[in-house]
Structure formats: C-alpha cells, structure tokens
Structure 1
C-alpha cells in the first residue's frame, strides 16, 4: 500500500511540475500592460497608472468614470504654466505647435504657451519605468530646444585642438561627421528637442482623488523639464493575475484534488486487494460515510415531517387517535371521573 501511494504521489507531483513549469508557452506570451510597471527591486510590487489617464468625455463607456480634463502645473518663478496628460496625449488638442510636424500635433502630451505660441515638451509615451524606488515616465520629441546664451558663448569661446577658436560652423561640421557628437535627445535631423520626465510618488491622502503634478525645474538650455506627481495609484500593489498563468486559487484547488484522488484511489485499492471488499464497501472508511449518509437522511426526514406538521396546524387540522391505545386512554379517563364522583358523594 505504501509503495502504491508513493508511486501515485510521484506521478501526480510530476504532472504538477510539468503544469507549473516556467517553460510553458502560455506564460511567455503574456506582456506587461501599457502604463504599468513592476518594481525593479525584485519586491514584486506592481504599479498601475491607467486610472490616472485623462480621456475625452466622448471616449466611450469604458472611460465614462475616468478623468476628462488635462492636468495643469504652475511654473511660478519660471514664468510659464504647463498642461499635460499621463501616458496619453492631452485631451484638448493643440495646433500650430512650434517645430513639430502637423501629423504629430495629436501626440503632444505636455506643452506650455509663451507669447501666444505653443511649445511641446514631449509626445505621448506609455512606457512607465521603475528605477529602484523611483517610478518614472518620460516624454520626448517636443519642440526644438534652441540655444541658450551660455551655451552659445561656451561654444564660441571653446578652443580647438589646434589652438584656434571653435565656431558654430566647426561644431556643425564635426556633428555631421560624428552622429554621436550631440546628446541622445537629438532626432534624426540632429535637432535637439524638448523632453519631460515625471517622477511619481505614492499619495495615500483620501482627499486627493486626482493626481497632483508639480513643476520641479528645467536645465539651463530649457530642453529637459522635470515634474513630480503624487497619486494614490502610484502606491505599490499586488500584480493582478495574468491570463495564462496559474493563480493561488488554482494552485490550492489542484493540491486539494490531488489529495482527494490519492485518498480514494489508494483506499479502494487497499480494500479490494487486502480486505477483498466488493461494491460500495471498497470505498475507504465505508462505515463512516454510510453512517454520515444515514444521519443526513434522518435529518432530512425529520425536517420534512416538521414542515408538514406546521402546515397542518396552520390549516386547522387536528390529529385523531384511534385503536387500542386511544380506547385505553378513554377508559382510564372515565374511571378517574367515576372515582372522583364517589369521593364527592361520600
């Protein structure tokens, strides 16, 4: 019996290992949804900012309860205010964006206005990143950065390797010869464009139902902009169950099923071969299950009988006794009455 049980357990364990193997094709086909991220620290924390995306009011039933207005951030001493969205383009579409092709106006995710002109500081991106304890979202491909005075002066006065003074023309020639000369935020045409980085922080204040975005600063060239956003959805949570993967409930159910199969199969084999039982008596602990079944049947019969008695009482029916027991009780009652009469006469 022990050998049989061990063999059954080994077989079922092998099947379970094959079922939960990491090499299963269905698990490799899953991917992380857009605007979500898993912590890079290995803690298993999951971040989902999809509920912070602002959608147009007529975007459909699935976004009926979503935010329908763009986010705003004051520049304070910077002198400009910003309008942006999270993981998507702005709700209120913009036009005549400086230095951006008309085909890309609908992709602008953050911008500011200056002297009546609209400057993009990044196009939409859903590539949410987790770097340590930081949760970051980056927009690139905005309007051209332009040259600051400090940058122009530094480029004009920088000495060349041959001792002569470098000029902007020489820089342009060197840039054309070496594509990696400029920074990584340049596009295919060698134009440096504005970009945005938003750092998200957990905010558990129940009064803040919507994210709060604050402007942090920009670089001297006004090419890279930095913001902080506080949101309840930036708090770490458990990663939801992915389609194709086995969840905790499935694991528990499979273990329970294996235990039940081992119990019944092993018990039937033992009773059939050792005790030479046949029929229902082959089941393990047959007397226990039979007693439980009898108890359940008795309880059911008593409950049904009690229900019928209550129904009869509500309808006004009374039980009528008949037979020898009823006649004996009547005779006994008459005898007691006669005895009381005799004692009263005396």
Structure 2
C-alpha cells in the first residue's frame, strides 16, 4: 500500500528514531508513538504478512453519537484501503451519511508536537469545509494511560463548524520512555556524581589524616611537656618495668622522687615558689646547725 511506503520513506529520509516520536524539551522525556502506526521504529525488516497484520491493528473506528458519524483514523499512517475514494495520504476520514462518500478530515502527519503540556498530532489539508474557504483538519490529543488493555483507545471529543475535529487518544505508548541519548546522559551524570564523591571522600581522608597527625604531635610534644615538671612522677617505661619484673623477682619497687626542673623553658610561678621554700628551709637548717655548734 502507498501509505506504508510513504511512512517508510519518511523514516529512511530522516532520523529513524524521531519518526512519530518526540522529546519533551522541558523534561527531556522521550515518547514514541510509532507503535501505533503501521511502521513502528523497531520494525527493521519489512515483513509483508506482519505489516499487513499490524495495519489491521492500527486502523481505528470511532463512533460519534453527537454528530452521528463513523470516523476512521490512523496514527502517523493512513487507514485507507484500495477501495476507498479518498487519497492514500489521508490520516482520518468519515463516511457522509447522505452522499455515502468518504470525506477526508486531514492528511496524516508523522511529527507530534507539544502544545503546552499536551502532546498533539495535527492532520491538515483535508477536503473543503462547508464555508468553501478552509480545508478540514483534525487534532489528536494523546493521553498517557497504562491501564487500558488495547494499544490505544480513541474517543471523539467534538467538532467546530463541521471543519475542525478533535479526538483524544489514550495509550500506554503516550507515556514517557527512556531514550538512547538520555541513557548516555544518565551514564555521564552518574560518572560525574561518582567522581565528585571520590574527590570528596579522598579530601576528607586526607584532612582527617593531617588533623590526626597534628594532634598526635601536639600530645607528644606540647600537652605533656606543658605540665609543671615538679608534678611529674618519674616512672620507667612499661617495657622496662616488665623487663625488671621478669629478671628481678620480688624486688621492692623504689619510690619515685619528684622531678624538679628549674630550666627557664619549664619555669612557672608554682615552680619558683617551691624552689624558694626549699632554699629558705635549707638556710634555716644551716642557721640552726651554726647556732648549735657555737653553743
């Protein structure tokens, strides 16, 4: 059929991934409506038997009780047959109940677009309107619906001056799906996040190591030495005490003396006071010894 060849030529001449598909510029979501057409994007090899069966499933009949018309629609392809009087580029038509002839309400298109938040597909350049000036057109509004069992459910919404026709298409294929370029972008974002996390973790470990080394140095050189040395009890190291206990059984431990340091770098008011008291006591003992010797 000519409509299948027309759709196939659109795919081969342009970007196959964008046939009857669109990417939301605001969210980056990718919607592929080609599964509702006679030539879906994943149909790489053209199988005539399968193509014919898919064509039967992508030809929708819509009944309208308001205007008492029966519409026949195709999505991104033509639903016409060889017996129809309308052109094979027609995307939607109905049968005039009075003249019993097909009336085209727009040629099919393969470029869905977003009108605000609504995904639409416009069929234009149909038969002449009753006003004799404009040509009939149709607007298909797609709605994401993951609960319907069929590929699509099309309802007639209304018409304007018997010249413009509006339909609502509910389908799971109108729901956003992932796209190859999106997958690459997601991979790049994931790699970037991993790299940032690695740098932050490496910086944290480096900073923690520097702080820990600094604290260890301060504990060994500043914190312990800052205490007055006359308050420090001299003790042998732990390994030396163990060594002495092993080779000197039962030996009484010697009382540790008080370490006095009068070096300028360790002197403080408490140390000077203690030294003065000891010197005064020594002078007093010397005077007593001298007095007792003279007597």
* TM-score when normalising by structure 2: 0.51
CA contact (8 A) 2:151 2:173 kept: no
Residue in 1 that maps onto 2:154: 213
In structure 2, C-alpha distance between the alignment counterparts of 1:88 and 1:134, rounded to whole Å: 21
CA contact (8 A) 1:39 1:132 kept: no
| TM-fit CA distance, 1:68 | 2.4
1:74 and 2:66 aligned: no
CA contact (8 A) 1:108 1:122 kept: yes
In structure 1, stretches of 5+ residues that fail to align are 1-28, 98-104, 149-190, 260-346
Change in Cα spacing, 1:236 to 1:246, as seen in structure 2 (3 Å) is closer
Residue in 2 that maps onto 1:43: 27
In structure 1, C-alpha distance between the alignment counterparts of 2:167 and 2:193, rounded to whole Å: 49
Alignment of 1:3-14 (within 5 A): none
In structure 2, C-alpha distance between the alignment counterparts of 1:236 and 1:52, rounded to whole Å: 15
Alignment of 1:1-346 (within 5 A): 33-40=18-25, 42-54=26-38, 60=47, 63=51, 66=54, 68-69=56-57, 70-93=59-82, 95-97=84-86, 105-114=87-96, 115-147=99-131, 191-205=133-147, 207-220=148-161, 222-238=162-178, 240-242=179-181, 246-249=184-187
Change in Cα spacing, 1:93 to 1:71, as seen in structure 2 (3 Å) is farther
1:283-310 CA distance string (max 9 Å, x none) = xxxxxxxxxxxxxxxxxxxxxxxxxxxx
In structure 2, C-alpha distance between the alignment counterparts of 1:60 and 1:254, rounded to whole Å: 44
Change in Cα spacing, 1:31 to 1:72, as seen in structure 2 (3 Å) is closer
Change in Cα spacing, 1:250 to 1:82, as seen in structure 2 (3 Å) is same
Show structure 1 runs of 4+ deviating over 2 A: 29-32, 61-69, 91-97, 245-257
In structure 2, C-alpha distance between the alignment counterparts of 1:147 and 1:215, rounded to whole Å: 22
| TM-fit CA distance, 1:31 | 8.5
In structure 2, stretches of 5+ residues that fail to align are 1-13, 199-295
1:180-236 CA distance string (max 9 Å, x none) = xxxxxxxxxxx411000000101110x42220101111112x110000010001112
In structure 1, C-alpha distance between the alignment counterparts of 2:55 and 2:104, rounded to whole Å: 22
1:76-121 CA distance string (max 9 Å, x none) = 1201110010011115345333xxxxxxx11011000013111000
In structure 2, C-alpha distance between the alignment counterparts of 1:254 and 1:96, rounded to whole Å: 59
In structure 1, C-alpha distance between the alignment counterparts of 2:181 and 2:103, rounded to whole Å: 40
- Tell which structure's C-alpha radius of gyration is larger: 2
In structure 1, C-alpha distance between the alignment counterparts of 2:186 and 2:122, rounded to whole Å: 35
CA contact (8 A) 1:55 1:68 kept: no
Q: RCO higher in 1 or 2 (8 Å CA, sep ≥ 6)?
A: 1
RMSD: 3.6
2:111 counterpart SS class: coil
In structure 1, C-alpha distance between the alignment counterparts of 2:52 and 2:102, rounded to whole Å: 29
In structure 2, C-alpha distance between the alignment counterparts of 1:30 and 1:118, rounded to whole Å: 33
